[in-house]
Amino acid sequence: MWIRSTMAYRASFVMTTFGNFAATALDFVAILLMFSRVDALGGWSLPEVAFLYGLSGMAFGLADLAIGSMDRLGSRVRDGTLDTLLVRPVPVLAQVAADRFGLRRLGRVVQGALVLGYALASLDIDWTPARVLLMPWMVVSGCGIFCAVFVAGAAFQFVAQDASEVQNAFTYGGTTLLQYPPTVFAQDLVRGVTFVLPLAFVNWLPASYVLGRPLPLGLPGWVAFAGPAVAVACCALAGVVWRTGLRAYRSTGS
């Protein structure tokens, strides 16, 4: 329904999609400005950082496209409109995710794909079968991890209705974090996004393997291939958190 509504005004769709593309491109412009003054950032060259940026942008862009509307759950809890979703014979999670579906978010995916294409054209990578296999794995598993963060953050809004910015700190903030190499951050932060909130499996760990770099924290090489398993575990845990929050929902009382 939302796609049909969007395509009814095609010129508006094109302009808003381009606006989304241009707004996200400013993040990469900031990286280009940094490299106009330095040759390396944390020991990583511009194409290598672009590789991280493109993977993070594509994974997050796909998750944001599919399930980004979850951050509106808090407003539905506050005004009681979530009740209308509970009586429909469709999973509440699917309804909340599809609410005001924004096809314009394709702009972020396209922008990330273009940066990734530039990185792949600029890097001299020894393409072994394992590295080739990791490329689609990174995008799909990264999307799954970000989807899990979106769902878990939305479930938290059953308790704290004004917590959308807390959720955004881990979703939008997380993808910004992953745009930069792990060597520029403190080791405690790298451990946190590896073993607590496993965002490092989106690109830091597998990308290091593809680029022939040592994995962060001295982890063994096989960890780079654990992304799909981590994504499945995160989605399962997010599902438990979602069902717990939904069972605890008591409407507005009005």
How far apart, in whole angstroms, are the C-alpha atoms of residue 176 and residue 169?
A: 10
Q: What is the separation, in whole angstroms, between the first and last Cα of the chain?
A: 30
Identify the residue with better confidence: 240 or 79: 240
Q: What is the mean pLDDT of the chain?
A: 88
Name residue 195's amino acid: F
Q: What percent of the chain has a predicted confidence (pLDDT) above 70?
A: 97
How far apart, in whole angstroms, are the C-alpha atoms of residue 237 and residue 134?
A: 24
Q: What is the pTM of this model?
A: 0.89
Name residue 147's amino acid: C
Nearest to 67 by CA among 99, 113, 111, 21: 99
How far apart, in whole angstroms, are the C-alpha atoms of residue 228 and residue 144?
A: 8
Q: Which among 48-57, 70-79, 92-101, 164-173 has the top mean pLDDT?
A: 48-57
What pLDDT, on the 0 to 100 scale, is given for residue 89?
86
What pLDDT, on the 0 to 100 scale, is given for residue 254?
52
164 with 71: CB under 8 angstroms? yes
pLDDT per position as a tens digit, 146-195: 999 999 888 888 877 666 677 778 888 889 999 999 999 999 999 999 99
How far apart, in whole angstroms, are the C-alpha atoms of residue 86 and residue 88?
A: 6
Identify the residue with better confidence: 115 or 10: 115
How far apart, in whole angstroms, are the C-alpha atoms of residue 151 and residue 166?
A: 13
What pLDDT, on the 0 to 100 scale, is given for residue 148?
93
Q: Compute the average pLDDT of residues 50-74.
A: 88
Bridge partner residues of 41 (DSSP): 44
How far apart, in whole angstroms, are the C-alpha atoms of residue 143 and residue 94?
A: 17
CA dihedral of residues 54, 220, 181, 70 (deg, nearest 10): 60
44 three-class SS: strand
Q: What percent of the chain has a predicted confidence (pLDDT) above 90?
A: 50
Distinct helix (H) and strand (E) counts, the chain: 12, 0
